Chain A
Amino acid sequence: MSDNAIAGYADALFAVAAANNVLPTVEDELFRFSQALNSDENLQATLDDSSLPVDRRQQIVEDLLGGSACSTTKALVSMIVASGRSARLSSIVDAFIERSAASRNKTVATVRSAVELDDSQKDKLVAALSGATNKDVEVKVVIDPSVIGGLVTEIGDDIIDGSVRRRLNQLRENFR
């Protein structure tokens, strides 16, 4: 699947969510669904299994999202699964979030943390990242226990790694 196709799907998602005035909600729900899908290989394989009927795969999506997501979000995910693009859903969602943030003149920063951040920490982090990059930054926090402690921030192609995992890896390299 080419980058143009991913951008096309992202533009379509953005247009539907904006038309329904649920852009922030859809953005947040799709981001969480994408993170859940990335962490579950069985779910990825099931949704990408072309031997299963499309109705069956769409029913799985409906069962997963249930009442925790709005109808627009469920409809968009069902559309991606029905088109056989579930393997690239994460990329499509990332492009959609970038597209949505750009519409607000903001840049998305994906932050991986071992624990949840409170609002105060998020505000300080947004301010710090905005000051460091000279951009208006939005933060998407992903809970990742492999980080162990600290944070890992991805802004575009830049990565700011302040995790305990990185320090342990450096220590491992020093032993070699």
Chain B
Amino acid sequence: MRQRGIRLGLSLLLATLGLFAFAVPASASGETVGGCMAEVLEHHGEIHGDVNHEHVEIQVHHLHEEELQDELEGCFEAPSPILPELNEIIWGGGAFLILFVVMVKKGFPAVKAAMDARADKIRDDLDAAEKAKTDAQSVHADYEARLADAKNEASRLIDEARGAADQVRADLVAKAEADISEMKSRAASEIEASRQQAIADLRAEVAGIALGAAEKVVQSSLDDDAQRRLVDQYIDEVAGS
């Protein structure tokens, strides 16, 4: 890439130098009024010597000729705004051809190489961008998938937590009901035991009272004859055993 840029710069520099080098002779080829007049006079033999030399001898005895004057006046006429001078066409065309050849041989390949490199770079960039886009889409899809997984996981955890909470609540309710049932059963047992104990105590109390009364009745009713009969009965039982 850098070499292509250097080559392109050198091509442009060479073309510029060529343009200036061929332009100088074009401007010095008699485009001025003075040059035009010198050429006319030299053509009619009025000037002896080199017109570019300081020692020019001008013979003015033919200056009043009408043909010469017309030609001289022609030098004052403005050049054609459309068609340049022949020499300019020649020099310009040569320079153009040289420049064209240089450009075809050096400039255009360099520019084409640069354009190709630029296109390749743009294509690579586009490919990279496409790849980055694909990667981004992949990352996005992965992110979406992970987000969906996270949502599913969160939903699952929430469901599990809700299920666990329901289970804990059910267990607590069952335990509370069991405790209540046990407490009721225990209370009923205690009440029954208390009732049985009260009945037993009452029965014992009644029995004690009744037996106390019976004992007093028996004692009062046991006279000497009764005592004797009891003793005799005891002796008979011992003797008969």
Binding site for B on A (CB under 8 A): 113-115, 117, 121, 124-125, 127-129, 131-132, 148-151, 153, 160, 162, 164, 168, 171-172, 175-176
B204: A residues at CB distance < 8 A: 175-176
Give the docked Cα–Cα distance between A75 and B232 (Å): 39
* A128-B235 in contact (CB<8A): yes
Q: Nearest Cβ distance between residue A145 and chain B, in whole angstroms?
A: 9
A117, closest chain B residue (CB): B231
* B230-A149 in contact (CB<8A): yes
Given A168-B211, A171-B211, A176-B203, do A148 and B235 touch, yes or no (CB 8 Å)? Answer: no
Interface residues on B, range: 20 to 34
* A172-B207 in contact (CB<8A): yes
Given A150-B234, A172-B208, do A115 and B203 touch, yes or no (CB 8 Å)? Answer: no
* A149-B218 in contact (CB<8A): yes
Given A148-B218, A176-B203, do A162 and B239 touch, yes or no (CB 8 Å)? Answer: no
Q: Nearest Cβ distance between residue B235 and chain A, in whole angstroms?
A: 5
Q: Nearest Cβ distance between residue A51 and chain B, in whole angstroms?
A: 41
Of A128, A160, A176, most B-chain CB atoms within 10 Å: A128
Which among B5-13, B41-49, B145-153, B219-227 touches the partner chain? Answer: B219-227
Q: Is B52 an interface residue (CB 8 A)?
A: no
* A151-B231 in contact (CB<8A): yes
B206: A residues at CB distance < 8 A: 175
Binding site for A on B (CB under 8 A): 200, 203-204, 206-208, 210-211, 214-215, 218-219, 222, 224, 226-228, 230-239, 241
A171: B residues at CB distance < 8 A: 211, 214
A127: B residues at CB distance < 8 A: 239
B232: A residues at CB distance < 8 A: 121, 124
- A selection of 9 A-B contacts at a CB cut-off of 8 Å is A121-B232, A128-B238, A150-B231, A151-B234, A153-B238, A164-B230, A168-B215, A175-B206, A176-B203
* A128-B231 in contact (CB<8A): no
Give the docked Cα–Cα distance between A43 and B210 (Å): 35
B207: A residues at CB distance < 8 A: 172, 175-176
A131, closest chain B residue (CB): B239
* A176-B200 in contact (CB<8A): yes
* B222-A162 in contact (CB<8A): no
B238: A residues at CB distance < 8 A: 125, 128-129, 132, 153, 160, 162
Given A115-B224, A148-B218, A172-B211, do A121 and B230 touch, yes or no (CB 8 Å)? Answer: no
* A150-B230 in contact (CB<8A): yes
**Contacts A132-B239, A176-B200 supplied; 10 other A-B pairs, CB < 8 Å:** A115-B224, A121-B232, A125-B231, A125-B235, A148-B219, A150-B233, A150-B234, A151-B231, A164-B222, A175-B210
